[in-house]
Amino acid sequence: MASRYHKEARPMSLKLLLLVAGAGAVGSTLRYLVNLAFLRRGTWELPYATLTVNVLGCFLAGIFYALFADKLHRHAAYAPVLLVGFLGAFTTFSTFALESANLMQAGAPWKALLNIGLQNLSGLAAVCCGLWLVRQFCH
């Protein structure tokens, strides 16, 4: 989250803290549901559920950031609700790191490197797409 939000944000309130916690509950629940959806489809060579939530989370991070930076200045104090609460619980960096390490330890270093590359490059591309989308169509 950009430092601009820390400067503009009001002091932390109980209301904001509860909104961040609630958004975290929603994000973690959605993450779990995505994981279940992939598990029901069968075993995968790569951890596609984690890739999906990380790329979608990066895309949403770009959208939310651009909206607060460009359109919703008056509501910037609530950026942590979406960027920290919801996306912090929805995206899965620690899971990504653990799955990559497990692939390496299972004797699949090329799959681990593919996973690391896909997660990072597609995540960065998704953030850029989210930023671009808002800035192109929300003027």
Tell which residue, 77, 76, 89, 68, has the closest CA to residue 12.
77
Phi, psi (deg, nearest 5) at residue 72:
-115, 45
Cβ-Cβ contacts under 8 Å for 5 (sequence gap 6 or more) = 68, 76, 77, 79, 80
Given a contact cutoff of 8 angstroms between Cβ atoms, the answer to whether 123 and 55 are in contact is yes
Contact 66, 134 (CB under 8 A): yes
Residue 117 is assigned to a ligand binding site: no
Q: Is 88 annotated as a binding residue?
A: yes
Q: Residues comprising the binding site?
A: 88, 91
Q: Residues comprising the binding site for Na(+)?
A: 88, 91
